[in-house]
Amino acid sequence: MTVYNKAEEAANFLKAKLKEGNFENGTVAVTLGSGLGKFGNSLTRLITVKYEEIPHFPKSTVEGHAGALILAKDEETGKNFWVMQGRVHYYEGYSMEQVTFPIRIFFLLGVKKFLVTNAAGGINRNFDAGDLMLIRDHINMFGNNPLIGPNDKRFGPRFSDMTEAYDKKLSKIVEEEAVSLKINIKEGVYFGWSGPTFETPSEVRLVAALGGDAVGMSTVPEVIVARHCGIDVAGISFISNKAAGISAEKLSHEEVQENSKLVEEKFGALVKASVTRFLKI
Ligand code: HPA
């Protein structure tokens, strides 16, 4: 079975849910990473489907990454949007195809704009734990690419243009909303590689030398597939810690989760405001 057929089955399953509730489809999708648990729980939910209920959908195994796909209502515009509460990662042992499968479904559901979020280690010395960073661009160091293999033209072209992987117009909206909310948002390049180890201090120096401002273990495959499908993307990283060697402290997933509680309010407010604006254009 091709990825397209699998994604079609999953999309049809969700379209049936839309029909059942007589809900309007959403053209904006958001993936919630660490730091957005509260936002996820505050949503006006129309549909909540656990990942394991969706045909062919990969199941999340990481603590703190509950897996549910939600159709939520934006109270201000009255429009609906899709939310992925939790994602699966390449380091869990999933293939690139599985990691990016939700994006294929979004495409078949008619999603046009995608807001991706994540937690990342701060490489740029001007970044502190608790900062938010608008993703201006990324560097793919996963040692893999989700588009390797036969190309299905129904999704997109063989060679995807990545000149504007992060859409300028959508990114500007996120920045404007941060200003309105008095959130001091940084901006920079997200350097993505597989994990699950945190970096050694030497690797952190490598990332800095190569132009990364923040480093993480997700997002890049999803954004590549979104662009392949012609979906416009904006991204926000929550800097959960200074990367290894930049501060003297050791890193842990617990620290990432604890620090995520500190940003929940501002991060949630920014995502909410950005989504509302995306729904208006
Ligand atoms: N490195 C990689 N991924 C991360 C980090 C980090 O320091 N913090 C949160 N995700």
- For the chain, first and last CA: distance in Å? 36
CA of 173 to the centre of ligand 1 (A): 26
To test ligand 1's pocket by mutation, which of 87, 197, 256 has the most ligand atoms within 8 angstroms of CB?
256
Reference 270, options 143, 131, 103, 136; nearest CA is 131
Going by alpha carbons, the residue nearest to atom 10 of ligand 1 is 120
| Whether 165 is catalytic | no
If one residue of 199, 203, 253 were mutated to test the ligand 1 pocket, choosing by the most ligand atoms within 8 A of its CB, it would be 199
Bridge partners, residue 186, by sequence: 133
Residue 66's pLDDT is what?
A: 58
Longest dimension (CA), the chain: 54
Quick one: 4 exposed, middle or buried, by C-beta within 10 A (0-12, 13-18, 19+)? middle
CA 28 centroid distance within chain: 12
3-state SS, residue 234: strand
2 CA distance to ligand 1 middle (Å): 33
Which residue, by CA, sits nearest to atom 7 of ligand 1? 121
Please give the number of the atom of ligand 1 that sits closest to the Cα of 217. Answer: 3
In this structure, the residues whose C-beta lies within 6 A of any atom of ligand 1 are 119-121, 195, 198-199, 215-217, 240-241, 243, 251, 256
Q: Which of 7, 29, 84, 89 is catalytic?
A: 89
The percentage of the chain sitting over the pLDDT mark of 70, rounded to a whole number, equals 98
| Phi, then psi, of 69 in degrees rounded to 5 | -100, 130
Tell me if residue 241 is catalytic: yes
1 in catalytic set: no
- Please write the tens of the pLDDT for every residue from 62-84: 655 558 999 999 999 999 999 99
Mutate to test the pocket of ligand 1, among 90, 240, 259 (most ligand atoms within 8 A of CB): 240
Residue 153 CB neighbours (<10 A): 8
- Residue 238 contacts residue 260 (beta carbons within 8 Å): yes
Q: What's the pLDDT tens digit per position in 18-38?
A: 999 999 999 999 999 888 989
Question: What's the pLDDT at 63?
Answer: 59
Please tell me the distance between residue 130's alpha carbon and the centre of ligand 1 in angstroms: 13
Nearest CA to ligand 1 atom 3: 216
In the residue annotation, 56 being an active-site residue is answered as no
- Whole-number pLDDT of residue 76: 96
Q: Residue ranges of the chain with pLDDT lower than 70?
A: 60-66
The position carrying tokens 């920045």 is: 175
The two tokens of residue 85 are 């509460």
Tell how far the Cα of 195 is from the centroid of ligand 1, in angstroms.
Answer: 8
CA of 183 to the centre of ligand 1 (A): 22
For residue 12, the one-letter residue type is N
Q: What is the model's pTM?
A: 0.96
Cα 144 to Cα 93: distance, rounded to the nearest angstrom:
13
